[in-house]
Amino acid sequence: GHQLRSFRLGPLLGRGGMGEIYDAMKIGSGEPAAVKLLARHALAEPTKIARFLRELDIARTLRAPNVAAVLEVGDLSAELPYLAMERLKGHDLDRHLRQHGRLTPEETAALVQQVADGLTVAHAAGIVHRDLKPSNIFRCEPDGAAGGAPVWKILDFGVSKLGGESQLTMDAVVGTPAYMSPEQAKGEGVDVRTDVYGLGTIAYAALTGVAPFGGGSAAVVMTRVIRELPRPPSELS
């Protein structure tokens, strides 16, 4: 029931390490939305606040069919920093793979093409996502009346890198170990090739049902990312 400028919050939809996402409705039009707020515990951590504000800055400018659309942004001038996004109908790739095992080659090709289209727009704006993984790729259900294929959209630019900026992470390793690139695992600088690698790991997971590198602690997984090649998909029946 809480109101943030144009939107009234509904039930909590999900919670991550840094933020909370609420079902919401635009006051007046009744347009459905999803509003992302910085989690309460993160409000006391300057680095997490800075990351969230950076995501808001990116959201103001990034517009692409395969990136979740932004409806409104509230920065530090608002009662609470927030990001109002289109309310997507469907679920993320991580959940889809847990329920269905894997995608067909045709479905995977469509996913890769659509995510690549979204990344092309981001990269043209000087933005590197840095944390592509199945939980950040959303499968939007096709319109029941119109039919058609699902649409894939990129979520969460919270740890993305803007061209020319210094890292807010103080050069710490950023990303998800099982899906990060070797240069990320080494703590080296990243560029658009990091996202290309990340998309490749997503395609691998979609086709095989497993991450290219998994199991063990984060340190063990990152060591494997740096030193090894993943098993050929043909070996994973």
Active-site annotation holds for 195: no
Q: Which residues contact 38 (CB under 8 A, 6 or more apart)?
A: 18, 19, 20, 48, 49, 52, 80, 81
Ranges of the chain whose pLDDT falls below 70: 16-17, 75-76, 78, 144-147, 158-174, 237
Catalytic residue among 57, 94, 131, 195: 131
pLDDT digits (tens, 9 = 90+) for 133-188: 999 999 998 776 556 789 999 987 755 565 544 343 434 556 788 999 999 999 88
Q: Which residues contact 20 (CB under 8 A, 6 or more apart)?
A: 12, 14, 36, 37, 38, 39
Specify the pTM: 0.83
